[in-house]
Each structure stands twice: as C-alpha cells, then as structure tokens.
C-alpha cells in the first residue's frame, strides 16, 4: 500500500522536481501540497506548485498556501538562485486552478486510513504553525530537507531553509515527533552532470522539462561552486521516503542556533555524541547518488 504524504514546499526548481518524483512513484500517495515563502514569495510558490501539478495532469491534488513570512524574522527569498518567478527556465502556462483552504488538506490527512508522512522542503514556518495548532498528532513522521552538519549554503554556517526561520526549525526539532533531517551533507552528493542531463532529455517531455529546470539551476551552482550541474536537494527527501536504503542516517541530537547572527540557523549536530542531549532526529550522512539518479530518471520517464 502506498504511503500517504503531504508535501510542504516552496517551488523552486528542486521542489518542483521533488513533487514530480512523488507524483510518479506508486509507493506514495500525495494527499495535498502546502506552500510557504522561501525560494520566492508565497503567491509565486503557490502558483508554481499548481503549474507543476497541471503540467502532468494532476490538477486534482489540492494546493493550500499558508505562511507569507517567518515567525519572527524579516522575510528573505532566494530569487538570486531561482529567478524572479521562482521557477525560471522552461515555459509553463499560468496556473488555472485556484488554491484551497488548508482545512481541505487537513481533512484528507485526518481521514487517511494509513499513517501520513509530512515531507517539508522549504522553511519550516508552516510546520511550526501546525505544531502550535494541532500538536503533530496526525503525522507519523516529518522528513525535512534542510540543515547541514558541515557547511551552509546561504551563510558559511547555515542552510537556507533553516536560516530563513530558525525559530520554526527549533520548534520542529524539539517537538518530539519522528524527524528526519536530509541536509546538505547528503544533497550535495546529488549533483547532476552532463550524463544525468542527457538521460533526462531522453526521458520524454517531462524529462526535458526537468532538464531545463536543471539548466537554469546549474547557473548559480557553477558560479558558486564550480559544479557542472546542480544538486536536486528536495527530491532526495522524497526519495528517502519512497525507497529505504538510498540515504544512510544516524540518530543524533540537533539544535538550531538562534542567538548568534554570525551562526544564525546553524544546525548543531552531535555527530560524535559529545553531549548528554537525547537524540531527536535521524540525520542524513550519506547517499547512494547513482541509485538516486537511476530512480529519478526512471520515474520522470514514467510521467512522460
């Protein structure tokens, strides 16, 4: 039986690819999509989620916008990475469907006969609001794309999704839920290259769309890191849910730095058990990148 999921996202190139991977995977049932600010404003990320769903004929899946800004911080979006639309690159028609109230997705979650997983690939403001109002009772586990054991990508210390709303992230890690952190240590191993791009372009119309997303996404990563490709961060979180063994994790304690502006949003992971803090998250430490890209190309081809 497929695992029901809700995808909480901010499309965004890699969010769009993560959504396509989820839709193409019979192991998953997408109950709904919730959106937040992040890679662009809430208005744009919501429209992008609907546009991607409509691209593959899944306009039946409800999309609910929630958070326009962080809990206490000023909003910052990643237009320098994702462009003015948040999904710059391939042409997509405007969204036709309208967004729905989040209560519609909440009803689907509550009525699910199987435990539901929340996959969060943007800033964690939506998840923090949910914890405040619902206490986390409807979700079996939360898998987030965010954080890092080592280097950041928006500052030397912090990954963007956690940095954007560190207070929300700290609430999630301290919630007592079954939390998995898929961070940059893992997703920076999921970097495309010419071979993956060729395989995607040969995978049909949706594969061409994904390859064109990666073309634009690569520009920033080539300038920043010198890579001839781009990391498909968010799709790794989805892949971890649908196929065990792709990501190796360790159960560790994670705290989020809130006080220091220099280290704002850093996820401090007790990798070597140097404290007496109880483990609160499964932390990604390695990825079978070849198997991940095989899965991605296979599923994108199925959508086409």
Dmax of the chain from CA atoms?
53
3-state secondary structure of 27: coil
Pairwise CA distance, residues 18 & 205, whole Å: 17
Contact 197, 211 (CB under 8 A): yes
Pairwise CA distance, residues 186 & 173, whole Å: 19
Contact 5, 142 (CB under 8 A): no
- The pair of structure tokens assigned to 81 is 């990475």
Contact 262, 157 (CB under 8 A): yes
Pairwise CA distance, residues 295 & 247, whole Å: 13
Which is catalytic among the residues 13, 82, 221, 233?
233
- Other C-beta atoms closer than 10 Å to the C-beta of 153 total 21
Closest CA to 155 of 51, 267, 48, 79: 267
Q: Within 13 Å of residue 270, how many CA atoms lie on the same side as its CB?
A: 14
Contact 131, 93 (CB under 8 A): no
Residue with tokens 């061409």: 208
| Residue 80 known to be catalytic | no
Catalytic residues: 233
């Amino acid at each position: 039986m497929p695992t029901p999921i809700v995808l909480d996202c901010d499309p965004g190139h890699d969010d769009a690819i993560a959504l396509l991977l989820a839709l193409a995977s019979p192991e998953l049932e997408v109950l709904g999509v919730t959106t937040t600010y992040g890679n662009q404003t809430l208005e744009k990320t919501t429209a992008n989620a609907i546009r991607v769903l409509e691209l593959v004929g899944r306009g039946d899946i409800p999309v609910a916008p929630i958070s326009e800004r962080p809990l206490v911080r000023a909003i910052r979006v990643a237009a320098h990475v994702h462009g003015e639309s948040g999904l710059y690159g391939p042409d997509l028609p405007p969204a036709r469907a309208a967004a729905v109230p989040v209560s519609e997705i909440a009803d689907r979650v509550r009525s699910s006969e199987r435990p539901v997983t929340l996959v969060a690939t943007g800033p964690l403001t939506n998840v923090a609001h949910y914890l405040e109002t619902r206490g986390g009772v409807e979700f079996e586990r939360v898998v987030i794309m965010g954080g890092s054991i080592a280097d950041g990508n928006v500052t030397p210390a912090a990954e963007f999704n956690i940095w954007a709303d560190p207070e929300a992230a700290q609430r999630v890690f301290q919630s007592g839920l079954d939390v998995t952190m898929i961070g940059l240590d893992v997703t920076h191993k999921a970097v495309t290259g010419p071979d993956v791009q060729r395989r995607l372009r040969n995978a049909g119309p949706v594969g061409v769309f994904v390859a064109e997303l990666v073309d634009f996404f690569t520009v920033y990563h080539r300038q920043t890191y010198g890579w001839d490709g781009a990391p498909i961060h968010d799709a790794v979180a989805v892949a971890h849910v649908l196929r065990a063994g792709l990501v190796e994790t360790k159960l560790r304690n994670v705290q989020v730095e809130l006080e220091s502006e220099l280290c704002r949003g850093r996820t401090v992971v007790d990798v070597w058990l140097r404290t007496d803090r109880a483990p609160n998250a499964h932390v990604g430490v390695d990825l079978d990148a070849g198997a991940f890209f095989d899965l991605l190309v296979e599923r994108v081809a199925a959508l086409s």
